[in-house]
Chains A and B, each alone.
Chain A
Amino acid sequence: MNLLKDRKKARSYREFLYILPFLVLVAIFSYYPLYGWVYAFFDYKPPFPLSMDKFVGFKWFKSIVDSPTKINQVLKVLRNTFAISGLSLMFSWFPMVFAIFLNEIKSKGYRKFVQTVTTLPNFISWVLVYSIAFSVLSSTGAVNSILMGLGLIDTPKLFLQSSNNVWFRMWLWLTWKNAGWAAIMYIAALSGIDEELNEAARIDGASKIQIIWYITLPSLLPTYFVLVMLNLANFLSNGMEQFYVFQNSFNKEYIQVLDLYVYNIAMGSGGYSLSVAISILKSIVSLILLCVTNTLSKLVRGEGFI
């Protein structure tokens, strides 16, 4: 009996040894960087190692708000972040509606075609998206050529170098890239709806719109709710790639979101410590948002998403 127990114990430790190298990797690449947060409390100038006499306490945190110009800049960055995340949140119903009406189309081949084609942009990088945007929207690009050919404009419009509607255009590109992919989740949920329910409604004389409104939409709402909550939890994290590739001196004022700002002050002007301080504040707010939305989800659905 004892022998068996020992054997089992030996096996359990041996299995732990198998996964240990991977745990070490996780520790190094995911947990150890957290230690880097201490740089926010030092006057850090790479490549010199940290030393105690460079300790500055909360100087960088205070410096975010210590002069009107800085406050102004931070407010602008926050404004951009809120505007772009807000737009995504406001139109987060779009993939759902996209899926619902796509599902109404009778021809299966056509449905499949639309789904395949609209999902494709999700799998190309933001650099490629920018390259496409550049090709299509530059002064000799397709859009300008067509508009001028139709006589709608006389001189090429410089779409990418304009500071008008930057947030909306960023939202458009995001939608171009993601909407088809985001719709897949709803399309799958749609196939789970009991066909008899629709049939019964049709016999009762319900129109297509009525069926969508009273049967389809309610059955998709739980999925929608989860995605909105996730959206809210990531409100401050737009990522930087999209905005990095699209940024230029004309639109910088409107395109610089938090993630890009953190990158720009560190890599652009060497403000490592300040950058870390800002990303710490961002992480704290994001953590709070995650807890709040998770609790909300628990209250509404009975289960969280963590």
Chain B
Amino acid sequence: MPPTKNARARRRTLRQILGGVRRRVRRAAGGARSVWRRSLQLQVVTSTLVISVTVVVVLGAFLFDQINRSVLESSRQSSVSEAFADRLQIEDALTPKSDDQSKPSDAGGAPSGNPLDDVMDTVTGSGEDGSKKRYDVLILNPAVPGQSRASGNVVPENIPLTLRLNLQRNGKTVAYIDRVRFPGQSLPRLTFVVGGLVHEPVTGQTYQIYHLFPLDEEEQLLSNVRLAIVVVGLGLVLLLAAIAYLVTRQVVTPVRLARQAAERLAAGKLDERLKVRGEDDLARLANSFNEMAANLALKIHQLEELSQVQRQFVSDVSHELRTPLTTVRMAADLLYDAREDFDPMAARSAELMQAQLERFESMLADLLEISRYDAGAATLDLDPVDVRDVVLRAIADSEALAERHATRFELRLPNEPCMAEIDNRRVERILRNLLFNAIEHGEGRDIVVTVGADRDAVAVAVRDHGIGLKTGEETMVFDRFWRADPSRARTIGGTGLGLAISREDATLHGGWLQAWGQPGEGSQFRLTLPRVAGADLKGSPLPLVPPEIEMRRTWRGHMTPVLLPATGDGAGHDEG
């Protein structure tokens, strides 16, 4: 069904576009959120802006409403009273006078035939000396011919229909504000229309009287007021934002300086201090910070000295122990050589002493080595070496021990030489340590030694299938004198310093030494070294987690299949 497919494709495209947009928006929002979270100044200015806008809008609306109401109300009042006065005048004029003959006409001019004309002249100011009124008047009496009048250019269509109907229905004075377009004018004008009725008692006629008051001036006034309020409000908001910006800058700038100083202090620059200006709270904060930094530096200095003294003590003790130990050794060697002449008890003691003395010696050697590292005196003797040869030599050294434990080595070496600039002796020592360790904890099962290489680095992984490591022990194995099970005896005479020294050796090369282990699955140690000494490592050619374990995990679906060497390296990177 191609259409469905098409539709689906289109939908997918749409979804993709939407997804893209959403991603981008989310990214922008994330960026904004992070900027917002990081800048106190932005937060203060923004909240000031929001609050002041709210306040200004509410106040402005209230103010404008008040002004609007008072202006319109006063105009309304005066208009309604003027309209009322006019209606009274019209009513008076339309009512026939009983003493009409005796009363002389108004001085305004000759009276015309219709009283409506006369009163309109008076009301609209269209008489002889009349002046223009500000409003227009419409008198409607559709029931009688010729009894409707208007001033100006008002026509009956200008009266809002609802007003007319309302007036005719209720008979009460009504008012209406509407935009009225008078004939001959292009734009409608805002007009206040007042409608009222006048009854002529004799003939019973009813006149509708409409007054049209222009509200142009009021509208102009109010729009000016509104403009002024908007401009002033906007100015006020901007002013407040500027004030908030300046004020927070005064506070935030020293805080920012303090943060930078703290960061530098944390990075080890212990002589970092803040400038103290004035006596305010921020100055006191700076003072306290400086005091804290000084105390911290003092303490660190003391601790460093103490550590130095300790290291020196260990080194000194090791050196001092060697001389008596040599003497003891010579004596022990004599005893050992002559053990066959002793009774079995003494002979056994001589053997024991010999063995423990060897262990003591190697421990002393390790201690001296470690103290050299601590003193920073360890140096590398670099040579370009094929790592495969180093591995083979280390295995050869371990063969005897392996045979004793009935352990076999499985070697996985690449065909090409794996050349690297390394200190032959130290790397061999690392590998020997790893192999001894694997034999010791391998419980007689096979030990797999893998060598891998890529453009930048070479790696050696030593895998055993022993009891493995518990969670968290991957790092602790490199601690000095650490032991997985304190009750277990050291069978091959390890000093407890081997892995620690190995790690220092790897670090000295700029490489990594990492461990992986699971209870019941055995463990794997991986040594990664840069091909060129001192180059930064970006990854390892071999995975830290053995491939078969990884595969099993994938099948169980516990993890994503993408567990590449880099991932493991990333985890180990921090430790390295």
Q: A and B from one assembly?
A: no
Binding site for A on B (CB under 8 A): none
Binding site for B on A (CB under 8 A): none
